[in-house]
Amino acid sequence: MHLGRTTLSKFLIQQLQDVEDQGKLAALLVDVAAAVKAISSMTAKGALGGYLGTVEHTNVQGEQQKKLDVLANDAMVTATEWGGLVAGLASEELDEPYVIPENFARGPYLLIFDPLDGSSNTDVNVSVGTIFSVLQHAGTEQPATSDYLQPGIRQVAAGYAIYGPATMLVLTVGKGTHGFTLDREVGNFILTHRDLAIPEDTSEFAINTSNARFWEPPVHRYVTECQAGKAGERGRDFNMRWIASMVAEVHRILMRGGVFMYPKDTKDPSKPGRLRLMYEANPISMLIEQAGGASSTGRQRLMEVQPSQLHQRVPVILGSRNEVLRIERYHAEHE
C-alpha cells in the first residue's frame, strides 16, 4: 500500500544525483526532517503536552523564550549534531554558534535555523513553523562566526516546516521548490506539491498595519493604493491577511500568490527591519525565488545582502514578482 509514493529520501536521492557530497546533503535534510517530526508532535499536543507558556530566559533578540522555542531548538541540535554532516549550527535561540562536541565528527555544512517561527502564536493554536538554511563550510577547522556570514545566494539548500492542520516540509536544493506532507501514520514525508510556482500577479498583500505610522513613503504609497481598490490607481480590489507567522504567510503565497512585507520602518532606529537575515529572510527568499517569485529589501535583491552579524535584521518584501518589482520601483522613485 502506498509504495509508489515519492518519499523525501527518494526525492532527494533523485534531485541530488549530480551534486558533490550529494549523499551528505540528503542525509542532513533527512536529519532535519526527523527534528521536524519531533517538533510537529510537540506542537500538536498543545496544552496536553505541557509545552505551552514561557521560560525565564530572554534570547539575543530580547524576546522572552517560549518553552517550545527551547524544545524545538534542542530537537534541531540533537537531530543534526551527531551525524558528521555539519561543521556547526546557529539558531535564533542561541546567542553564539553551537560548537559540535569533540566526540562527533564535523562535516561540510553549516546549518542555520529558526527553530520555531511565529512562536507568539503557540498559545493561541495558530500555525507555526521551523525555517532552515544550509551553507557550505570550507576546510575542516571549527567554524568561526565569520564563516556563517555568507549571503543568501550561497545557500545550497533551504526550507521550512509548517505545523498547521497538516504538517508540511517545503524545501529547495536549488532545483525548484517542492512541498511534502507528513503522513503521520507512516511517519514519512510524501511529495505532494512538486515544482511550486508563484503567480506573477496578485491581489493579496500581507503587512502588519499597526506599524503604518512608522513606514517609509514608498510602503505607504503601495498599501494606500491597494486599499483604494477599484476606484484607485490599481483599478482592482485587494485582500489583506496577517497571521504573524512568517511561515504561514509564505506558505499561502507559495500556494496562491500574494505579497508579504516586513519593511524598514522608523519604529526603532537601531533595527533595519523586524525579520532576521540569516535564519528567516535568506532561506525564505531562496524558496520564493526558486518558485518564480521575487524577494527584496526594497532596495536590493535580498539574497545579495552581505551579512555582518549572525542575528542581524533586514527589511523583507517578497512574493508575486510583479508586485515586488512595483514596490522596488516605488523605493527607487522616492530616493
Residue 304 known to bind ligand: no
Binding residues with ligand AHG: total (CB under 6 A): 13
Q: What is the C-alpha to C-alpha distance for residues 93 and 327, in angstroms, rounded to an integer? A: 32
The contact mask relative to ligand AHG for 177-216 (x = CB under 6 A, - = no) is -------------------------------x--------
Q: What is the C-alpha to C-alpha distance for residues 286 and 293, in angstroms, rounded to an integer? A: 9
Residue 204 known to bind ligand: no
CB atoms near residue 28 (< 10 Å): 26
Burial (0-12, 13-18, 19+ Cβ within 10 Å), 3: exposed
The least distance separating Mn ion from the CB of residue 115, rounded to whole angstroms, comes to 6
E strands along the chain, which residues?
54-58, 64-66, 86-91, 109-117, 128-136, 157-163, 167-172, 178-183, 188-193, 204-206, 239-240, 259-262, 275-276, 294-296, 313-314, 316-319
Write out 207-234 in H/E/C secondary structure: CCHHHHHHECHHHHHHHHHHHHHHHCCC
Q: What is the C-alpha to C-alpha distance for residues 58 and 229, in angstroms, rounded to an integer? A: 42
Q: Which amino acid is at 222?
A: Y
- 63 contributes a contact to Mn ion by CB under 5 A: yes
Residue 8 known to bind ligand: no
Near ligand AHG by CB under 6 A, which window of 38-46, 103-111, 228-236, 241-249? 241-249
Q: Alpha carbon of 40 to those of 70, 71, 193, 299: distances in Å?
A: 14, 11, 19, 36
Near Mn ion by CB under 5 A, which window of 71-79, 89-97, 147-155, 303-311? 89-97
The contact mask relative to Mn ion for 116-145 (x = CB under 5 A, - = no) is xx----------------------------
Q: How far apart are the first and last CA of the chain?
A: 60
Residue 119 known to bind ligand: yes
Residue 317 interaction partner, one of ligand AHG, Mn ion, none, beta carbon < 5-8 Å per kind: none
Q: Which of 88, 97, 107, 118 binds ligand AHG (CB under 6 A)?
A: 118
Residue 208 known to bind ligand: yes
Q: Quote the radius of gyration of the chain (alpha carbons, Å).
A: 19
Q: Which of 117, 265, 323, 328 binds ligand AHG (CB under 6 A)?
A: 117
Interaction with ligand AHG in 45-64: which residues (CB under 6 A)?
63
Residue 120 known to bind ligand: yes
Cα maximum dimension of the chain? 66
Residue of this chain nearest to ligand AHG (CB atom): 246
Binding residues with Mn ion: total (CB under 5 A): 5
CB atoms near residue 161 (< 10 Å): 29
Q: Which of 31, 114, 147, 289 binds ligand AHG (CB under 6 A)?
A: 114
The least distance separating ligand AHG from the CB of residue 124, rounded to whole angstroms, comes to 12
Residue 280 known to bind ligand: yes
- 92 contributes a contact to Mn ion by CB under 5 A: yes
Residue 235 known to bind ligand: no
Residue 153 interaction partner, one of Mn ion, ligand AHG, none, beta carbon < 5-8 Å per kind: none
- 246 contributes a contact to ligand AHG by CB under 6 A: yes
The least distance separating ligand AHG from the CB of residue 163, rounded to whole angstroms, comes to 13
Give the number of residues written for the chain. Answer: 335
Near ligand AHG by CB under 6 A, which window of 43-51, 160-168, 239-247, 307-315? 239-247
- 244 contributes a contact to ligand AHG by CB under 6 A: yes
| Exposure on the CB side of residue 108, measured as CA atoms within 13 A | 12
Binding residues: 92, 114, 116-120, 208, 280
